[in-house]
Structure 1
Amino acid sequence: MTSLTVELVEIPKIRGVLVTADTLSADLADGRTISVPLAWYPRLLHGSNEERNQWRLIGSGEGIHWPSLDEDISSQNLIFGKPSGESQQSFRRWLEERLR
């Protein structure tokens, strides 16, 4: 039996971002658009529309940063379908701090 392996020479950069009530979409330099559930990123999910829309590209498009939510997501994680790696304990502390 053979298996298929995919080797990426270069991870495409992010060129644009759209955040809706339930989805994060990123337009990539290679023409693709990657969309993932917002639930994968609890800080975005619990952020306001204003906070979600205050993003900037980092590393010349290698990732996205939301300053008011202290959230960073890389293009690599979006492409490979990796949700947030933040622990529940860390997220709980962050959420409690927001509610103060």
Structure 2
Amino acid sequence: MHTLNLESEPIAVDVKFTADAFHVTLEDGRELSIPLAWFPRLLHAAPEQRAQWELIGRGEGLHWEALDEDISVAGLLAGRGDQTRRSKPAA
């Protein structure tokens, strides 16, 4: 017997940036808003560099060649940002 699997991988179709976040539009209409602070390479990049994103695969991920940055949509949905972040020192 075969089972129909209705779940599919989340697929990105567009990316836009604001001063402190980036927004990923998914194929199903959802929009993710992610703090740029989670991704230091994007945070410190020039707007022109941020705008040069490409889809990985069919949209399972995002890639910035000039920044050497790859981000999976599944990781964004799971709330995973840059795992190398360090806490700010106490004042």
**Could you tell me the TM-score, scaled by structure 2's length?**
0.81
Paired residue for 1:26? 24
Distance 1:33 1:40 in 2: 17
Q: Specify which structure has the bigger relative contact order, considering alpha-carbon pairs within 8 angstroms and separated by 6 or more residues.
A: 2
Post-superposition offset of 1:86: 4.2
Secondary structure at the counterpart of residue 25 of structure 1: strand
Q: How many residues align?
A: 81
Post-superposition offset of 1:29: 0.9
AA aligned opposite 1:31: G
Post-superposition offset of 1:20: 2.0
Q: Percent identity?
A: 49
Task: Give deviations 1:39-98, integer Å, cap 9, x for gaps.
Answer: 00000001011101110111110000011110000100111111013477xxxxxxxxxx
Misfit runs of 4+, over 2 Å: 8-11, 85-88
The aligned runs of 1:1-100 (5 Å cut-off) are: 9-86=7-84
RMSD over equivalenced CA pairs, Å: 1.7
Structure 1 residue ranges without an equivalent (≥5): 1-7, 89-100
Between 35-44 and 16-25, report the one with greater CA deviation.
16-25
Contact 2:14 2:24 in 1 (8 A): yes
AA aligned opposite 1:51: Q
Secondary structure at the counterpart of residue 34 of structure 2: strand
Secondary structure at the counterpart of residue 69 of structure 1: coil
Relative distance call for 1:68 and 1:34 in structure 2 (3 A) is same
